[in-house]
Structure 1
Amino acid sequence: MEKIKMDTPLVEMNGDEMTRIIWEGIKEELIRPFVDLNTEYYDLGLKHRDETGDQVTIDAAEATKKYSVAVKCATITPNAQRMEEYDLKEMWKSPNGTIRAILDGTVFRKPIVVKGIEPYVKNWQKPITIARHAYGDVYKDVELIADEPGEAILSFKGESGQEKSMTIHNFDGPGVILGMHNLDESIESFARSCFKYALDMKEDLWFGTKDTISKQYDHRFKDIFEEIFIAEYQKDFDKVGIEYFYTLTDDIVARVMRSEGGMIWACKNYDGDVMSDMVASAFGSLAMMTSVLVSPKGYYEFEAAHGTVTRHYYRHLAGEETSTNAMATIFAWSGALRKRGELDGNRYLIAFANNLEKASIDTIEAGNMTKDLASLSSIKGQTLNTFDFLKTVRQQLESNLK
């Protein structure tokens, strides 16, 4: 069959370790045989980030602004051990954090649901989407060790000359101090991304913070969401028949646990980090969690929600067989290809992306899956290694496309 053409490139960001191996396997088995793949390529592998002083990460984010759609492989955020292992010049920041700050978006994470793998929360019948604010809070914090008695002060000096300060705590002995911030502009983008996504998905939007305790910081989030919703989105929500509501975080958690799912749960940055892992694990596996960064300016960056699968990578390097789940990375590619097709009016590319996802799910539901899913699934079948799974998905895809 003739390959599907792509008029506009999407930004391709390669990554690290086992996911980098899978990345190439997906392109060779599941995309290039069917699509005349057109990408602008950036190598975000840790060695290349180090060689470029992390400029490659900034360049990839700026390219996403140009082309609107990106697909990203999982990458390493280095710690002290990685500094030594890779002989790095610097302990580079999270590339995800850098990209999110430049694109000013919200991360939407949603589990891939397949027959045979039941959620641990028995009443969850529909996927739960986590909308994670992608700026500030603990990820942009500053910290100090108070190593003797003394006074910790929070202060602000405005350009106009105004000054504000207040005592954080009077220390009688050693302790630790944390400072966080956020921006009205970023919170507004977070709110608009959530409201637009809810309208696109036609799903209710729930949002919770701890404004009873954090009467200014968290309350700022609550007020901005409410103001934007009433001014810009309430009429559209009413037309579609979906709901937005705010309540405290602990109440949201209780409601989510009692629900059947099917909503978008908006979370501040750290809450979203933790709760997306909780939702993914409760639905079965972190390797079955899709992730897309959506900017209100019209930028989209698709990736898997999991890490680089280091343990499997070193087994692979030793020549041992691995059974690594590629589903979230496959769905990152299908999501990016579908969005490219939607923006370009390319119905063939949209149909291919839908077929790729269906073939992947059909493969698992037919009993052909990697080791992590075989241990969870009630469907009896065969456990496949990393590359045989991709080949089996290709066979299913070819069958679906006939």
Structure 2
Amino acid sequence: MTTKIRMTTPLVEMDGDEMTRIIWKMLKQTLIEPYVDLRTEYYDLGLEHRNETNDEVTVAAAHATRRLGVAVKCATVTPNAQRVEEYKLKEMWKSPNGTIRAILDGTVFRVPILVDCIEPFVRTWKKPITLARHAYGDIYRDVEMYIPGKGRAELVFTDGKGGETRLVVHDFEGSGVLLGMHNLDESIANFARACFRFALDMRQDLWFSTKDTISKKYDHRFKDIFAEIFESEYREKFEASRIEYFYTLIDDAVARAVRSEGGFIWACKNYDGDVMSDMVASAFGSLAMMSSVLVSPDGKYEYEAAHGTVTRHYYEHLKGNPTSTNPMATLFAWTGALRKRGELDGLADLAAFADRLERSSLRTIEEGVMTRDLGILSTHPSKKIVGSEEFLREIRLRLEKSGEAGRSCR
């Protein structure tokens, strides 16, 4: 029997919800545990356990990531009113991703997973577009209020000496809603530096977009901090690398992106990045084909799939019906975490295994074996649509034969 690849430091493993939780276990058993002496510090972020622990398990998982340096996370449910009733929750718990990102205060980098035989919906796109998403603040740390009737809403800041600054938000004549959100100069600066460093590492142009013409204080602060840091710390490095940084309004960035050939990094505020990464992933083919990593300012890494818990497939699974859920983004979360663990711990064979597993998964699709979502898009002349479990077994076959030649799309 082949000796398993050793690990010296555990990964933080955050389990999740619904169909991705099923895929998570299946993927580990089929593609990782037979080859790696897997060491993890396990946290169950399934909605039931979050409810039992009053969501303390999410905070504990985030602090474990700070301690161990590398985490891998399954997709989780962020409950709405319907979910509160369905799962009998004590309250409408916040987004686990929002909680983790607030504690780590990093930047989320999302990159499409490209394969032959699947052409982007935007015909000009030839290269991947990387989304860099700020991971702190905005609506993910907001305070909200329902306004029942007539009255005045004010924004009030009390400084350390007791002085007050007040701004009228709105004079309500009837019912409505109110939202307050914030951000921090330090976090914005960390975001800017992470984007500039990533652009230099990738040798790709960096775009940054907000809506400062409308948000003349909030969004303009982002624009100013990016500009100050670029001029003082990065302009000469960018010029030496022959890459460009520029700022533009987000509506202009969208228009530019659609007309481009790709191959650049697009930095966005938290919510903008959430929306734009889904748009880019879908336009390249599938939400299930987008890798995602959160990088903190002090070099901690949390890898996850960029998509949700695939609820529709989960309900079919509960009925005993077969499903064809695409596990690629979850697989790339695991390979990203294993590779980084190998790099940080000096375990070349662990990092090499992650590379081989990724290549085997891509080759599986390029040889015509794929889940239903990709089958709809693929131009392969003899594609074979399979369920999730069979797809993972097909990857394992190629993993065990890794080294053989491979592409048959053309």
TM-score, reference length from structure 2: 0.95
Give the match for residue 153 of structure 2: 152
Distance 1:244 1:68, change over 3 A: same
Give the match for residue 57 of structure 1: 58
Give the letter aligned to residue 207 of structure 1.
F
**Cα distance in structure 1, aligned partners of 2:258 and 2:91:** 42
CA offset digits 1:79-112 (Å, max 9, x no partner): 2222222222222111111100010011111111
Matches within 5 A, 1:277-296: 277-296=278-297
The offset of 1:32, in angstroms, is 1.2
The offset of 1:233, in angstroms, is 2.4
CA offset digits 1:88-144 (Å, max 9, x no partner): 222211111110001001111111111111111100001111111112112222233
Runs of 4+ that moved beyond 4 A = none
Give the match for residue 408 of structure 2: none
Matches within 5 A, 1:155-304: 155-304=156-305
Q: 3-state DSSP class of the match of 2:401?
A: helix
CA offset digits 1:27-75 (Å, max 9, x no partner): 1111111111111111111111111121111111111011110000011
Q: 3-state DSSP class of the match of 2:326?
A: coil
Task: Compare 57-66 and 135-144 and name the one that shifted more.
Answer: 135-144
The offset of 1:241, in angstroms, is 2.5
Give the match for residue 6 of structure 2: 5
Q: 3-state DSSP class of the match of 2:277?
A: helix
Give the match for residue 18 of structure 2: 17
Instruction: State the aligned residue count.
Output: 402
**Cα distance in structure 1, aligned partners of 2:92 and 2:150:** 32
Give the letter aligned to residue 115 of structure 1.
D
Give the match for residue 327 of structure 2: 326
Give the match for residue 127 of structure 1: 128
Give the match for residue 384 of structure 1: 386
Q: 3-state DSSP class of the match of 1:28?
A: helix
Q: 3-state DSSP class of the match of 1:108?
A: strand
Task: Compare 147-156 and 332-341 and name the one that shifted more.
Answer: 147-156
The offset of 1:216, in angstroms, is 1.1
The offset of 1:198, in angstroms, is 1.6
The offset of 1:12, in angstroms, is 0.6
The offset of 1:190, in angstroms, is 1.2
Q: 3-state DSSP class of the match of 2:91?
A: coil
Distance 1:284 1:148, change over 3 A: same
The offset of 1:151, in angstroms, is 3.1
The offset of 1:327, in angstroms, is 0.3
Q: Residue 81 in 1 paired to residue 58 in 2? A: no
Give the match for residue 399 of structure 1: 401
Task: Compare 355-364 and 158-167 and name the one that shifted more.
Answer: 158-167
**Cα distance in structure 1, aligned partners of 2:253 and 2:64:** 37
Give the letter aligned to residue 344 of structure 1.
D
**Cα distance in structure 1, aligned partners of 2:286 and 2:110:** 13
The offset of 1:174, in angstroms, is 4.0
**Cα distance in structure 1, aligned partners of 2:92 and 2:253:** 37
| RMSD of aligned residue pairs (Cα, Å) | 1.5
Task: Compare 232-241 and 88-97 and name the one that shifted more.
Answer: 232-241
The offset of 1:145, in angstroms, is 3.8
Task: Compare 142-151 and 310-319 and name the one that shifted more.
Answer: 142-151
**Cα distance in structure 2, aligned partners of 1:139 and 1:339:** 27
Give the match for residue 344 of structure 2: 343
Give the letter aligned to residue 373 of structure 2.
D
The offset of 1:172, in angstroms, is 4.2
Distance 1:344 1:236, change over 3 A: farther
Give the letter aligned to residue 385 of structure 1.
G
The offset of 1:390, in angstroms, is 0.2
Give the match for residue 48 of structure 2: 47
Could you tell me which runs of 5 or more consecutive residues in structure 2 were left unpaired when the two chains were aligned.
405-410
The offset of 1:189, in angstroms, is 1.6
Q: 3-state DSSP class of the match of 1:196?
A: helix
Task: Compare 129-138 and 294-303 and name the one that shifted more.
Answer: 129-138
**Cα distance in structure 2, aligned partners of 1:239 and 1:41:** 44
The offset of 1:401, in angstroms, is 5.2
The offset of 1:352, in angstroms, is 0.9
Give the letter aligned to residue 63 of structure 2.
E
The offset of 1:284, in angstroms, is 0.7
CA offset digits 1:334-366 (Å, max 9, x no partner): 011111111112211111111111110100010
Task: Compare 312-321 and 265-274 and name the one that shifted more.
Answer: 312-321
Residue identity over aligned pairs, in percent, reads 67
Q: 3-state DSSP class of the match of 2:119?
A: coil
**Cα distance in structure 1, aligned partners of 2:154 and 2:67:** 43
Give the letter aligned to residue 88 of structure 1.
L
CA offset digits 1:274-330 (Å, max 9, x no partner): 111110110111011111101111011000011111121122222211111000000
Contact 2:98 2:141 in 1 (8 A): no
Q: 3-state DSSP class of the match of 1:35?
A: coil
Q: 3-state DSSP class of the match of 1:58?
A: helix
Q: 3-state DSSP class of the match of 2:161?
A: coil
**Cα distance in structure 2, aligned partners of 1:84 and 1:149:** 31
Give the letter aligned to residue 163 of structure 1.
E
**Cα distance in structure 1, aligned partners of 2:234 and 2:55:** 39
Give the letter aligned to residue 320 of structure 2.
G
